[in-house]
Structure 1
């Protein structure tokens, strides 16, 4: 009797394990399909070698049924991947610039994104919300999101509002996430040996600073990754991070040199909102 009871339990365990493996494989396949889709612009696809979208999103643990908030999606580089991936079983909130912003650039960016939501079938299920540090914006209903993702935005908040703005941003993310939810952060990395003052206008941020700000509002650091590292980047350029591709702010001056470096060295951090 012991053996008879033991065998079904073992089989059930193996079956559950097999289903989990198949589920993970399906998720990876769906993600790769979204990344390889011809609906993505050619210029965006050309940057995959620097942004590593598959490896980055897998590191954060995204699933097709996740509820995800993408912070400041801009023109939609990551949205082109996230929107079709989450369309059928998940939910994507795109927390864009506020509709009442006084910035003409923000208004143009938001309008272009809204037109894409209206006209691009891949974006049709995207829910557009608003985000700005030090504001009363609501990026998603409280404790509704499985994941909040921010790509190369932290330096903008810091340069415009300092430590207070960054901390407020992380608090908004914390509020939107379910207990156990994940915050994924990618940004340009300033070497820890450099003075903090270099974060003021270079576009580079210290990894330790990002961790400290997240932990200050209650997040726990779960894991770091070097997926988006670039050892060729010294983070010490005449026009800051914008000296490098894709901006190449110096124009043709030393263009070959900076193109050879590639896009910036970046840290990739995974935080978790504690369950209790």
Structure 2
């Protein structure tokens, strides 16, 4: 009898979880079709698989979510509509473009812009950026996400990014990171720069206090030989990317 009760409870939890993401997926599908998005952004859906990616990270519509370094707002345009009614979206660091282009659009009024004083610094002779930033002023968010930014930073800059994410999250909160794949332990050259060894990334993020929860091959690309810089014509828009899910320990 006890086994049957446990099974019934597990089934109920599964149904609730499925129902919850069904709501998120419906909101995502509406956002994906929104006129706010450009034709070029829509064209990248097939490659970036946003709905599957956000499902993998466990996005729910009542979460507080920080997007680190949102750039032009490709994911911002999807996250804000999902979180607008029940949750909270925070764009942090490098937010000038989304603040200028999105903050006054219908449906984006509740978008929060934080860490405006953060700076990217590239010392003379250095290829990658350091990150000059303090705390985000948050310590209880459910999720921190960053997409294809890790490769732009020096070891010092990546450590700061991970530190900021850890401080902002509540215990049990999720840190989701996506970036372009470098071959493990291969020396960096002009041809393969702007890629990151996933094993190195895992070590760095674990060193910041996180626990690796899961990974997915959603963005595995067999025809990317991991040889060329991500802007090269042969791989641009079709790079192999690692997609890693971490948790702040409870």
Q: TM-score, normalised by structure 2?
A: 0.84
Match of 2:149 among 126, 139, 153: 153
Structure 1, unaligned runs of 5 or more: 98-108, 245-257
Deviations 1:75-125 (A, max 9, x none): 10100100111101110100132xxxxxxxxxxx71x32222332113221
Structure 2, unaligned runs of 5 or more: 120-129
More displaced stretch, 201-210 vs 17-26: 17-26
Match of 1:234 in 2: 225
More displaced stretch, 65-74 vs 123-132: 123-132
8 Å contact kept, 2:192–2:227: no
In 1, Cα distance between equivalents of 2:225 and 2:5: 58
Match of 1:124 in 2: 109
In 1, Cα distance between equivalents of 2:203 and 2:6: 45
Match of 2:124 in 1: none
In 2, Cα distance between equivalents of 1:89 and 1:72: 23
Q: 1:95–1:199: structure 2 CA closer, same or farther, 3 Å change rule?
A: farther
In 2, Cα distance between equivalents of 1:191 and 1:12: 44
Q: 1:20–1:203: structure 2 CA closer, same or farther, 3 Å change rule?
A: closer
Match of 1:182 in 2: 174
> Highest Rg: 1 or 2?
1
Deviations 1:208-261 (A, max 9, x none): 111011011110100111111111111222xx11114xxxxxxxxxxxxx27x7
Query: 1:9: how far off?
Result: 10
8 Å contact kept, 1:155–1:187: yes
8 Å contact kept, 1:150–1:186: yes
More displaced stretch, 127-136 vs 22-31: 127-136
More displaced stretch, 163-172 vs 126-135: 126-135
In 2, Cα distance between equivalents of 1:15 and 1:37: 33
Residue 113 of structure 1 aligns to a residue whose secondary structure is helix
Report the aligned-residue RMSD. 2.7
Q: 1:194–1:18: structure 2 CA closer, same or farther, 3 Å change rule?
A: closer
Greater fraction helix: 1
In 2, Cα distance between equivalents of 1:48 and 1:189: 19
Q: 1:71–1:61: structure 2 CA closer, same or farther, 3 Å change rule?
A: same
Q: TM-score, normalised by structure 1?
A: 0.77
